[in-house]
Amino acid sequence: MAADTKKTYHHGDLRAALLESAMAMLERGESFSIRAVAREAGVSATAPYRHFPDRDALESALAAQGLRDLRAGLTRERELPGTVEELADLGGAYVEFALRRPALFRLMFGNECDHESEERVRAAAEVHELLATAITRVFPDSDPMDLALGGWGLVHGMAYLYLDRKLTSPSIGSVVAQVRSSFIAVLEAGAASTHS
């Protein structure tokens, strides 16, 4: 048994293997503990403690990975927005991420941010910076933080309305279309009231 554990442990990057196992368990809807993740990864029950002192640390690492995945999804195959419509596409991509990976999304945003986790803080800052940069490109004369916060609140709220089934739709594509049109309507109404 010890020989098998040692053989499995030397597969390369233990931390990455533990996170991969925990992510798989999370996304399958299984509750997990440090011991369960160790079992899933095929390592001894004490091996995870080299990287994660407790479940909170493991969850923070998963949230950080989720934030990195979210940022990658927001920037994949698209330039930074230059129009309101392209900004709405970014909002649609945000909600699509939430609907495709609901357990991870809830883990990322369902509890207080662990400010002791530099990895999580950095990953969150990179998402916020992306949103502020996108807003600045589309609305160069506005306060990017206020507008980014308002835009984030809109798409984040819509993501949870669909996740919690307060709003329903036949497909993720139709949800994304609704998010886009709502986002555009709000921004255009705001722009119209500013110019009147």
Average model confidence (pLDDT) across the chain: 89
Overall average pLDDT of the 182-191 stretch: 84
* Predicted local confidence at residue 84, as pLDDT: 93
**pLDDT at residue 3 in the model:** 40
Confidence of residue 7 (pLDDT cuts 50, 70, 90): very low
φ/ψ (deg, to 5) at 138: -85, -35
How far is Cα 188 from Cα 196, in angstroms, rounded to an integer? Answer: 12
Lowest mean pLDDT among 2-16, 37-51, 163-177: 2-16
What's the CATH code, domain 55-195? Answer: 1.10.357.10
- Angle in degrees, CA 32, 24, 97, rounded to 5: 115
Residue type, position 154, single letter: L
pLDDT above 90 covers what percent of the chain? 72
Closest-CA residue to 70 (of 148, 134, 11, 130): 130
Q: What are phi and psi of 74, to 5 degrees?
A: -70, -30
Chain position carrying tokens 């722009």? 191
As a three-state string, the secondary structure of the chain is CHHHHHHHHCCCCHHHHHHHHHHHHHHCCCCCCHHHHHHHHCCCCCHHHHCCCCHHHHHHHHHHHHHHHHHHHHHCCCCCCCCHHHHHHHHHHHHHHHHHCHHHHHHHHCCCCCCCCHHHHHHHHHHHHHHHHHHHHHCCCCCHHHHHHHHHHHHHHHHHHHHCCCCCCCCHHHHHHHHHHHHHHHHHHHHHHHHC
Domain boundaries, given as residue ranges, for the chain: 2-50, 55-195
pLDDT computed for residue 196 by the predictor = 53
Torsions phi, psi of 81, nearest 5? -60, 145
Contact 89, 48 (CB under 8 A): no
Of 1-5, 30-34, 64-68, the least confident: 1-5
What is the tens place of the pLDDT at every residue in 128-184?
A: 999 989 999 999 988 888 888 888 999 999 999 999 999 999 999 999 999 999 999
